[in-house]
Structure 1
């Protein structure tokens, strides 16, 4: 893009959210003239572009913009949807990192809504039960997803909080066709699903058969939970009160140790001075530790990494009452003398402590040029390969 063309875009807002390894990028641009590079018209958009890993969710994000919503509104609404249609690897039972850039102000901030270890967690809690860090209630870390969304909405949202949930609540109640990604995950975990009453209730036809790709699936319990959160006007309903008690009880029933106190004291962290890496005339914004941002800063000149997809349904725990699929992010901690799901050996820096966040490879990225215009929005899925894959794409 020529320097003159760069100045055509007066107002750019970009938000990147990584939720359990899933990336969503959104850019809002308002041109004052015609596009100069005609060969780029096939992927240029005059007003906005929304990208998520499901078409339905991207459409929801687009519609939020049409209603007058901000990039943050669109990103949140899109990711609420992704947590529904791709419930195997993201959702309100997990956590995320996000980065937001405001072109007009030339500022950026990041949000760390990574899950935390429960207050009753101990360094050696998985020494004699390593599988418990991956499956079941003991593998569930305190979810940060919704509080992270709310912090973003408070700082950059425009529409009412409730409006961001409405499309997904309707989708959950009325149903939608099972997509390829969700079906592959279901098929890979078939035995676990068929032998778990709660997962089976949601993901089978009632006769012991997995639902197929293209079958209509509904989430009535999750719809009711999202409606409670939406009507509250904030994320507070998830972390306090009746719903929080239900969440703690569901996890406890599967041998978890999360309590209502864990939920009540949880806080997402807002960083108004996010990681910024200078690359010649470009600036790369990302999130600080415990994300993969600092590691990315060291490997930007090393092009390495092969993305892989991990399908796991988190802890294999679904709440019977809330319909929430819970994370298994406790496995991202290190346990003395063990290796985790990805084959990573234990590191004392990442040993479990109460209220601590585990290290993560997730790394949301926004790259801007010398004029302050956004040139790249990226991230990725793939566990420990996320950081290197993001470096490759950057």
Structure 2
């Protein structure tokens, strides 16, 4: 009897061991195939503003979605980062849903008014730069409302509450905004609206770093939008739309109520690039520069970077030349892209998204020399230069993620402020190409002004997703045309060369946008041997002065190996927060 019980126990134990091992194998397989949730509870927010990061964190802690947090942060940045983003502009976003592994993009980029034509701007190039004619149809609120409709969890009005609080109670002027105000003080003092808002009435001085700046007018505007939703601006029944139209037209603009009424943001599939280490990079398609970013990466992937690729002292010099050449080809092909479906645009888009085409173009990179002809790099018009932006990266407790980049284009956009609402209007008409270039190039119409069309943009909000369906990197940049090259260098330094995100951001950068034909090195670039090496290859070089927007500022969240981190570019600052709700 005792022997029988011992035998039975042994069999039961063996069966139990086999069951446990089998269950472990099944769970391991399911986890690595992304079939079960890894139980992520850590969340993170990173933005270009302390107050806006805190506002987004509050929304997540209240049970809001990643989209809710991004909406709140975006509206907040219109208050705290008014020189670069706001209700008077637009945005692009990449959105990831963890439990379905679905990733989509949202194009809420401004569009040309229905009355806009090329001829309207030909005799006055400054008309696209500032003033009423430079204003494209503002699209931010309509896009954010659509983002909430599809991905929101909290009520619309609740999502707006923290941003309204920031506008009412005020915020401490951050260093970067203080530098902008100081640089543009003379213009601020002579511009209606701006002089009343950015000159401290107590001291008659421009607001300085650390001063408390309130915006009660914009707070009231946001309260109306909280009550009425997007209809406040985009419906004839709304409280704000016709007011804004009247003020734009009073400044010489051509935006109409019909422009606002018919505008529709667009959800679309992402541009996807499979990276060598297994992640897939997802970002926005036209009118974003995401397709060109993918093209540059595909060119560079063929060089098989490793941790010592950039070690100049080990003789690894050539990679710097190759990266600059890839930049030049990227900006060259960008001149044939735009927000339309012409044969030229479709053919170029299909080409730059094709890995085989990137391999083909790589063969035109001459390791012995550069070329000073824009045509060699496939440019067929002048390179348009966009400017300021603000970026937001969100990782929710459930693993969902949003990367959102917004803009009003140049510093303070059109320099037209709504007296009734406090909204600063964009100058996105300056992002279109005008056929007035004197560089001898055949002018492309891909990015020409056309009613209802969006101009090309340098915004590239992106999310990397691994084979387990984790959003491993949520990243984007603020800083106009240098966003693309800055993000390429950041990804190379972080993913390929294995630098930490902080180390990757601290690395001094270089930039080439094809026109002008020179490599621009960041102020303080401390590797003169590399500069000299590129000169020997025929590159003209210049060091950027300590300008406010000389190089883009990157905002990133990483989620790898169970560890969540953030990184804020020291060039402009901002704030990141990691927390367990």
> What TM-score comes out, normalization by structure 1 length?
0.84
2: CA distance between counterparts of 1:334 and 1:175?
39
- Match in the other structure for 1:335: 434
> Is the alpha carbon distance of 1:345 and 1:187 closer, same or farther for their aligned partners in structure 2, counting shifts above 3 Å?
farther
> Is the alpha carbon distance of 1:173 and 1:283 closer, same or farther for their aligned partners in structure 2, counting shifts above 3 Å?
same
2: CA distance between counterparts of 1:349 and 1:205?
45
SS in 2 for 1:378: strand
Which deviates further from its counterpart, 247-256 or 3-12? 3-12
Q: Does 1:348 align with 2:344?
A: no
What are the superposed Cα offsets for residues 320-363 of structure 1, whole Å, 9 maximum, x if unpaired?
A: 00100111111000111148xxxx99642111001111011111
- Match in the other structure for 1:286: 283
SS in 2 for 1:146: helix
- Match in the other structure for 1:129: 124
- Match in the other structure for 1:37: none
SS in 1 for 2:95: strand
**CA positional deviation for 1:4:** 6.5
Contact 1:334-1:345 at 8 Å conserved across structures: no
2: CA distance between counterparts of 1:204 and 1:229?
27
- Match in the other structure for 2:265: 268
2: CA distance between counterparts of 1:279 and 1:4?
24
Q: Does 1:229 align with 2:225?
A: yes
**CA positional deviation for 1:263:** 0.6
- Match in the other structure for 1:214: 210
RMSD in angstroms over aligned alpha carbons? 2.5
2: CA distance between counterparts of 1:93 and 1:370?
39
- Match in the other structure for 1:163: 158
| Residue ranges of structure 1 left out of the alignment (5+ in a row) | 13-28, 32-45
1: CA distance between counterparts of 2:487 and 2:29?
27
Contact 2:51-2:166 at 8 Å conserved across structures: no
2: CA distance between counterparts of 1:11 and 1:345?
55
| Residue ranges of structure 2 left out of the alignment (5+ in a row) | 1-26, 301-322, 328-385, 389-409, 492-581
SS in 2 for 1:197: coil
2: CA distance between counterparts of 1:389 and 1:176?
29
Which deviates further from its counterpart, 58-67 or 166-175? 166-175
Q: Does 1:392 align with 2:387?
A: no
**CA positional deviation for 1:125:** 2.1
Which of 303, 321, 324 is equivalent to 2:420? 321
**CA positional deviation for 1:391:** 2.4
Q: Does 1:143 align with 2:138?
A: yes
> Is the alpha carbon distance of 1:136 and 1:6 closer, same or farther for their aligned partners in structure 2, counting shifts above 3 Å?
farther
Contact 1:115-1:329 at 8 Å conserved across structures: yes
1: CA distance between counterparts of 2:114 and 2:247?
17
**CA positional deviation for 1:6:** 11
Q: Does 1:297 align with 2:294?
A: yes
**CA positional deviation for 1:146:** 1.0
Q: Does 1:70 align with 2:167?
A: no
**CA positional deviation for 1:87:** 0.5
1: CA distance between counterparts of 2:450 and 2:103?
30
Aligned pair count reads: 354
What are the superposed Cα offsets for residues 293-313 of structure 1, whole Å, 9 maximum, x if unpaired?
A: 1101100144567xx975611
- Match in the other structure for 2:96: 101
Which of 192, 208, 213 is equivalent to 2:187? 192
- Match in the other structure for 1:370: 467
Contact 1:98-1:112 at 8 Å conserved across structures: yes
1: CA distance between counterparts of 2:188 and 2:139?
25
- Match in the other structure for 2:51: 56
1: CA distance between counterparts of 2:449 and 2:64?
40
SS in 1 for 2:273: strand
**CA positional deviation for 1:229:** 0.4
**CA positional deviation for 1:388:** 2.2
Q: Does 1:382 align with 2:479?
A: yes
> Is the alpha carbon distance of 1:337 and 1:204 closer, same or farther for their aligned partners in structure 2, counting shifts above 3 Å?
same
- Match in the other structure for 1:86: 81
What are the superposed Cα offsets for residues 125-181 of structure 1, whole Å, 9 maximum, x if unpaired?
A: 222211111111111110111111111111111000011111111221222221112
Which deviates further from its counterpart, 166-175 or 326-335? 166-175
What are the superposed Cα offsets for residues 275-298 of structure 1, whole Å, 9 maximum, x if unpaired?
A: 222223221111111101110110
> Is the alpha carbon distance of 1:216 and 1:346 closer, same or farther for their aligned partners in structure 2, counting shifts above 3 Å?
farther
2: CA distance between counterparts of 1:186 and 1:205?
12
> Is the alpha carbon distance of 1:226 and 1:346 closer, same or farther for their aligned partners in structure 2, counting shifts above 3 Å?
farther
> What TM-score comes out, normalization by structure 2 length?
0.58
